Structure 1
Amino acid sequence: MNLSKLLEPGAIKVCGHLTSKKRLFQDLGEIAAAAYGIDASTAVDALQEREILGPTGVGHGIALPHARIDGLDRVVGVFLRLERPLDFDSVDRQPVDLVFALFAPKDSGVEHLKALALVSRTMRDPGICTKLRANADPATLHAILTESRDTRAA
């Protein structure tokens, strides 16, 4: 599995200032709708339902919200870089500025977990995060995220 299979160039955005997690999820839903044809309100609802189970802010300014949605045929991703960090109820209580959301088919099983592991490994790399935080061009962000690297699943 490779991030280039999960993340379309049009599914990356740099956002100025978001005021809430709800607004963040709305932006993620709108981007997913534009890039993959996912119904935006369905995506938002699915992200919010998952978040109720526990916050997806994993620490170090990173959030990995994810949800399963009926009608998808594969796992897809959306990436947001926030210019102003947002309070996200992260495990380390630090605000979030890098958000990589995943949307998976309802019955994706292990594929969803493999994708989540790959994204998590990628976002744990301090060098990648530094590059992501230093760039505001979506095409450059896509290149940073999808450049060839070891993609063996955990």
Structure 2
Amino acid sequence: MDISKILKPEAVRVLGSMTSKKRLFQELGEVAASAYGLPAAVAIDGLQERESLGPTGVGHGIALPHARLEGLDRIVGLFFRLEKPMDFDSVDRQPVDLIFTLFAPKDSGVEHLKALALISRTMRDQQVCAKLRANLAPATIYAILTESRPQAAA
């Protein structure tokens, strides 16, 4: 599995700032609707439901919100880069500026976990994050995220 299979160029956005997690999830829902045809309300509800189990801010300015949704036939992703980092209740209490969101079919099982592991590995790479933070063009960010890297065990 590679990121280009789950992330479309039109699902990559650069935003100035977000005022709250709720507003961020609304924006993610709208982009999921326009890029993948997901009902925005279903996407938003899925993200909020998952976030209520515990924050998905993993530290170092990165958040990986995700949800399993009914009616989805494959795993899809969204990537947002925020120019102004926002509070996300991250494990390290640092604000977040890189947000990779995954939506998976309700019954995706191990495929969902493999996709999360792939995204997690990619976002743990400090060079990748530095490049993402240094660019404001969605096309460039998409290229950085989808360039092939050596595969490692999760």
Q: Distance in 2 between matches of 1:73 and 1:151?
A: 25
RMSD: 0.8
Given that residues 3 and 145 in structure 1 are in contact (C-alpha distance below 8 angstroms), is that contact kept between their aligned partners in structure 2?
yes
Percent identity over paired residues: 73
Say which SS state the counterpart of residue 98 (structure 2) adopts: strand
Deviations 1:47-76 (A, max 9, x none): 000000000000000000000011111100
Deviation of 1:151 (Å): 3.5
Q: Which amino acid aligns with 2:53?
A: L
Instruction: Identify the residue that residue 120 of structure 1 maps to in structure 2.
Output: 120
Given that residues 75 and 103 in structure 1 are in contact (C-alpha distance below 8 angstroms), is that contact kept between their aligned partners in structure 2?
yes
Say which SS state the counterpart of residue 78 (structure 1) adopts: strand
Residues matched between the structures, number: 154
Instruction: Identify the residue that residue 91 of structure 2 maps to in structure 1.
Output: 91
Instruction: Identify the residue that residue 36 of structure 1 maps to in structure 2.
Output: 36
Given that residues 114 and 153 in structure 1 are in contact (C-alpha distance below 8 angstroms), is that contact kept between their aligned partners in structure 2?
no
Unaligned segments of structure 2, at least 5 residues? none
Q: Distance in 2 between matches of 1:149 and 1:128?
A: 10
Deviation of 1:152 (Å): 4.9
Unaligned segments of structure 1, at least 5 residues? none
Q: Distance in 1 between matches of 2:152 and 2:109?
A: 17
Deviations 1:81-127 (A, max 9, x none): 00000000000000000000000000000000000000000000000
TM-score of the two chains, using structure 1 as the length reference: 0.98
Instruction: Identify the residue that residue 46 of structure 2 maps to in structure 1.
Output: 46
Deviation of 1:17 (Å): 1.4
Instruction: Identify the residue that residue 56 of structure 2 maps to in structure 1.
Output: 56
Q: Distance in 2 between matches of 1:52 and 1:151?
A: 32
Deviations 1:19-58 (A, max 9, x none): 0000111111111111100000110000000000000000
Structure 1 consecutive aligned stretches of length 4 or more whose deviation exceeds 6 Å? none
